Amino acid sequence: MTKSPETLNLSIDISCNLALEKVPASVRKQFWKLVQKLHAHPEANGNNLERVKGGSDKRMRSIRIDQGYRAIALQEGADLLLVHVDEHDKAYAWAERRRAVVDDITQSVRFVVAVSEEAEAPAMPPVKAEHRPGLFDAWTDDELISVGVLADHLPTVRAIVDEDTITAAPELDEVAQLSLTGLAAGLTVEEVRDEIGLTEAPANKVTFSEALRSDIAQRRIRVLDDKDLEAFVERDMAAWRIFLHPMQRRLAEGRKSTTLVRGGAGTGKTVVAMHRARWLADQIRRDPSRKGRKVLVTTFTRNLASDIRQNLWNLCPENLSKSAPVIEVMNLDAWVSEFLRARNFGKTIVFGDHKDLKKIWEDAFDQFTLPDGLSQAFVKDEWRQIIQAQGLEQKNEYFRASRTGRGSPLSRPMRKELWAIYEYVRARMVEQGIAEPDDGYRAVRAILDAGSITLPFDHIVVDETQDMGEQAIRLLRAMVPERENDLFLVGDAHQRIYPRKASMTACGVNVRGRRSNILRINYRTTEEIRRWAVSVMTGQAVDDMDTSVESSKGYRSLMHGPEPLVAEVASKSDELVNLVEWLKCIDLKTRTVGICTYTRRQRDEVNDHLIAQGLKTEILERDSDDSSCPGIKLLTMHRSKGLEFDAVCLMFIGAQDFPPAWIFMPEAFPDDASREDELQRLRSLVHVAATRARGTLRISLTGQLSKDLFT
């Protein structure tokens, strides 16, 4: 047994945290109680800190959790790094195969795996044949080392001939895999170094203790304090609450200007937004002069706001206390309604399908003759996409307004005829005391511009920014003055599933240059699922939420799993039968399964069938989020946004069901451009739903996929 020093500086590696998620809850609880004891009384008898015999690293220690489980730690002096937890024999085998090195390039502790002793190692990368060039032949050894490849890794790296084998080599750790997949995806050495946090060359060699505390180490290692240990004992802490990738941490804690964070599904945008909110709230709580000031976290939908509120409660409950909350979470429409109601706005905000609004439009079309060649659908779409979106209140403003992307051109006389209709509609809305959301946004801006109201928000954090329209973005800009840490926006235009679009610059939000940042590493889904989801969007031009086109360069996942299963059957009844058989192959006591449909009717049809087959299900409705508990969850694709599951099945995706037939009716859209916009939103919807799957994706369809939707 190793004698413990009088004090121990405890740290935990993300590998230990991930291992803890796989052991029984009772073991996790006992582990954290043991760690608390080590922290408080390292010299006490019974800590059972023993050296791992037979391994290549003499600093490896085992810690007895109970009779069946052991924790593995790395000890040097007074520093103890917790690295793994498993059953007794498996924990020792893990430790014996690894040795730790302090890497001066990344200034972090890295592990080298003894592959020859790896009993269950994946197949080694193929030995490079003479006629096949190595994937990394274009880079020198020094360049590879400069992006985090260890010298021990070089022989393996030189043998790699394709991207898939990068993550198949067990001796390549996460840093090496991130760097190599980045280079393979077309990133430059400088871009890769920036992505993994290597902003400058280290000046000196680093010690073991320094390597545990470096900026890049925080992606994998957290130095534990009393507050951490109390939180871990009280509630399980998922890895996302503890560890951030260097770029994620830099964005969450290091930015001062208005910031836009873009990135594909699963890259941790919402996680970064929540950590940003916590960091900003902590700054407020530490400053007595800022008592009463707040961080507003907002998004487009009520469902997502509810999900974020629950996750923030798990992350930093002290900032959401009922007595004096420092973080307020509310979707923007709800906040606007509450703000205006408190100030006797006098109008009810309604949405497009409201009966009074529908009647106003019916009366307008009865009273006015439409310009030649224009349909009712076009006129209403013009109102939503141009008049309301741009906040046009005068006829001359409409004459000058940009209509880029609207398809059908309009002459000045045609705009004049349309304006008469829009004046009528607006007058009737005022008469009946109703307003649309865009009217509400403008009304709040007018009150704020008058200068009589001071909002309690010093900072605003916005999730799913791509679903916000122009008036919403303008309002957000008005809610906090342009200053340090004012606006923090995250989003991905590939996931735009609502008919709203805005350019940050056009709305007065400056996110040019280094104010706009991209996250490229998918931490949620496997690479196979990511590729399928991205293929749905192939050939579609997607904006960057400002004035340029988005690029997917470097977007990748390091995790691998089975290819998505496209299950083609002859009928919808066969889809339901096969779904049950698929579910029977899943351990529903430990895994979460999301079954997504386009409509609620389809969702309820699937639910009824599963219940009839004796399966226990749960429907996720608005404001309900039990997605983290094992079992079968049924939900619409729209409801899936912000959630994730171990396995996902997309139901009724065949051409006879999806897209719905009404999309191809001549009267459904004013022109082909508008119809294509809707098809694009449906592609985004499939992309969103598919990327809710962590490891398994099934696409169920009758017949074949629609050629209009999938290329």
Positions at the binding site for ATP: 263-270
- Tokens standing for 388? 């309301």
Nearest CA to 238 among 10, 23, 21, 557?
21
Cα distances (Å, whole numbers) of residue 520 to 186, 214, 263, 415, 503: 12, 22, 6, 44, 22
Residues in the chain: 711
For the record, the structure tokens of 276 come out as: 């940003």
Measured at the CA of 520, the angle between CA 215 and CA 185, to 5 degrees, comes to 110
The CA radius of gyration of the chain, in Å to the nearest whole number, is 28
513-517: long-range contacts at Cβ-Cβ below 8 A with a sequence spacing of 24 or more?
515/257, 515/258, 515/259, 515/260, 516/259, 516/260, 516/262, 516/544, 516/546, 517/247, 517/251, 517/259, 517/260, 517/261, 517/262
Q: How far is 292 from 425, CA to CA, in rounded Å?
A: 42
CA distance 277 to 271: 10
Q: Which two tokens stand for residue 328?
A: 């307020």
Q: How far apart are CA 199 and CA 214, in angstroms?
A: 13
Q: Which residues are annotated as a binding site?
A: 263-270
Which tokens is 176 given? 């090496």
Asked if residue 597 lies in contact with residue 603, where contact means CB atoms within 8 angstroms, the answer is: yes
Residue 382 near residue 407 (C-beta atoms within 8 A): no
Cβ-based neighbour number of residue 568 at 10 Å: 15
Helix axes 246-254, 269-286, angle to 10 degrees: 40
